[in-house]
Structure 1
Amino acid sequence: MYMRLFLIIAFFASLLTPAAAASDLTVFAAASLREAMERIASGYERETGTKVVFSFAGTGILARQIEAGAPADLFVSADADWMDYVAENGGVDPANVRQIASNALVLIGASETPVLSLGEAEIVDFLDDQRMAMADPDTVPAGRYGRAALENLGLWHAVAGRLAPMENVRIALASVARGDTPLGLVYRTDAEIEPDVAVLATIPGASHPEIRYLAAVTDVSSNPAAGSFLEYLTSTEAQEILQSLGFVTDKVE
């Protein structure tokens, strides 16, 4: 009797569960891609009717979650190292990886801050006893790019003790916008969406490894739309959106 009652309850519960949720496409993407990915997803949803659900965070955090078996259909990384890490741990097929864009680094301050040179003395004097915000150089792609740039520009030893490492680049951006830190090192695309910061200097691209945004379908995905959305990320429509937000692509002139 109890088993029969259980089966009846289970049957009616199944009728109340939204069927569409099973077909949603789950994308784990680097925090710096939020606006671009949301706009791209809107176009994809209009064309296909497939809903795209995002989880945005630092790439390293997302990579660890995928390694632990999180139910992501796609992984969009802000650098090659974390994508390689996920591939080496069975999270994605290396043959499936696509580059969708690149970016640049900039030094930012509050919107009224004057332009700075990238000289050691000027930056140290400007910081005084305050800190410079940047993504954690030990775990976050933006931080790793930033550390490489500061080392190659001869600035690392001067600012290493004055850093405020953040969980991801958007938190570093917010820290400068709120006035918590006077300087920050972020992606150019981050600075362009925040009206309360100004670009004080552009970091030379030759001073750090190429900033590569890579996407791949995860090995745990069984969603038939995953491959379709991966291809859509390199479509003219998607690439135009990326370019409009300041990303660099090689698909659209």
Structure 2
Amino acid sequence: MRAWIHRVFLLLALAVAGPVLAEEPVRVFAAASLTNALNDIGLEWQKAGHPKPSLAYAASSALAKQIEAGAPADVFASADLTWMDYLDKRGKLQAGTRRNLLGNTLVMIVPQGRAFPVQVRRGFDLAGAFEGRLCTGEPGVVPAGIYAREAMQNLGWWDAMKNRIVGTDDVRTALAFVERGECPLGIVYATDAKISRKVDVLASFPPGSHKPIVYPFAAVEGARPQAQAFLRFVQTSPQAAAIFAKYGFTRLKP
């Protein structure tokens, strides 16, 4: 009789503890340019026996502000160092989890079949080479726009172009504007251009024209325990490495 009662209490305890101990989905806030890659990595994470991660994409600037304001996030992946530094200085990252993982390239794109001659050098008259506006991330705020402005300043193009810039909320929105022909020219990442069948790459910006494009990843302060396991999967698994390579990201050395 006592053994039966013991088994009943044990089953009840497991029933109560089960939902508490069950792994919860990792909440990931990531730069919009990582959308396709992290969606695929999320599927591989599921295949490894974990719950489907909760993936939220936007401009790194917007996500950093949300995390600062207390939005529930476990992992932050930024498209530049500036917004990761922003959270780091405010004590919003778990110590020792930050790593610069990926690199990218900045390119000029046009709607498919609408290329025009361009030379990526000082002295070239970009403003006179086309009519209409140039779409990119909001300069000074969104990472893609920050890199684009720096490149145009270093090439001597900014003053003639600054009043023709359409600054978007994130880089994928800039891509969409060019795809629809609303902007005859755009500046996005090479990985964004790679996933679109509606744009052509007009030219690439040389690395020296802007700061290196770096994607740091980190666990957010107060993150769930599985956040670090997800970061290890993203950083070290062969599945993640193959997916990042597929979409054109470069892996940075630790």
TM-score by length of 1: 0.87
- 8 Å contact kept, 1:71–1:220: no
Q: Deviations over 1:86-119 (max 9, x none)?
A: 1111210353201221100000001102352236
**Displacement over 3 Å in runs of 4+:** 18-22, 119-122
Per the alignment, residue 50 of structure 1 pairs with 51
What's the offset of the Cα at 1:20? 9.9
Per the alignment, residue 101 of structure 2 pairs with 100
Residues 116 and 87 (structure 1), Cα distance of their counterparts in 2 relative to 1, 3 Å cut:
same
Alignment of 1:61-140 (within 5 A): 61-114=62-115, 115-118=117-120, 122-128=125-131, 130-140=132-142
Question: Which one of the candidate residues 147, 153, 156 is aligned to 1:154?
Answer: 156
- 8 Å contact kept, 1:109–1:183: yes
Question: Which one of the candidate residues 176, 179, 195 is aligned to 2:178?
Answer: 176
Distance in 1 between residues matched to 2:203 and 2:125, nearest whole Å: 12
Question: Which one of the candidate residues 195, 198, 201 is aligned to 2:200?
Answer: 198
TM-score by length of 2: 0.86
Per the alignment, residue 3 of structure 1 pairs with none
Q: Deviations over 1:2-58 (max 9, x none)?
A: xxxxxxxxxxxxx9xx98997111100000000000111111111132220111000
Distance in 2 between residues matched to 1:20 and 1:100, nearest whole Å: 31
Per the alignment, residue 225 of structure 2 pairs with 224
Per the alignment, residue 33 of structure 2 pairs with 32
Q: Which runs of 5+ in 2 are unaligned?
A: 1-15
Distance in 2 between residues matched to 1:48 and 1:90, nearest whole Å: 32
- 8 Å contact kept, 2:179–2:198: yes
Residues 232 and 162 (structure 1), Cα distance of their counterparts in 2 relative to 1, 3 Å cut:
same
Percent same amino acid at aligned positions? 38
- 8 Å contact kept, 1:113–1:200: no
C-alpha RMSD of matched pairs (Å): 2.0
What's the offset of the Cα at 1:206? 1.0
Residues 245 and 132 (structure 1), Cα distance of their counterparts in 2 relative to 1, 3 Å cut:
same
Which of the two has higher C-alpha Rg? Answer: 2
Matched residue of 2:177: which SS? Answer: helix
Q: Which moved more, 1:20-29 or 1:33-42?
A: 20-29
- 8 Å contact kept, 2:99–2:217: yes
Q: Which runs of 5+ in 1 are unaligned?
A: 1-14
